[in-house]
Amino acid sequence: MQRNERHGRQDGFTLIEVMVASVVLLLAFFGMARYAAGSRTQLSLEEGRRHAVAVAQGRLEAIKRGETYDTLGSLTGRDTTYTVDGRPYAVTHTIGLSTPEEHAATVGVTVTWSEMIAGNAAPRSIALTAIVSRSLLWEGGS
């Protein structure tokens, strides 16, 4: 009489295999979570920069529309602050009259703000410069 026995064969996974697979999946999950957190930080930084550029461009346009060549010099040192989405953006002006040539002006606008990076406030700034001719500036209703 012969007995039919199955030696050494098992169906399914061992406990060690399940634990190794769990650790691999856990590492992959934490890697993706870290990547997502970094992406969120980068998006926040880019949003702050985009708002600062918009403030600077808006300020340059307002200067071209609302200032005459003769009043441009009074803008130097006249700072202002704009708030966009609850974040303050400080604006400073620099004006170079007759630069690069007579009847032209170099208008600089610098916008500064703070970003929270890893729990610390980091100062950021962006500067835009435009050269405007006397004919591009508003001339007092003429």
φ and ψ at 100, to 5 degrees? -85, -10
Measured CA to CA, the distance from residue 139 to residue 142 in angstroms comes to 6
Average pLDDT of 28-50?
87
pTM (whole model) above 0.85:
no
Domain-wise residue ranges, the chain = 15-136
Which pLDDT tens digit goes with each residue over 63-86? 888 888 888 888 887 789 999 999
Structure tokens that stand for 54 in this block = 């918009």
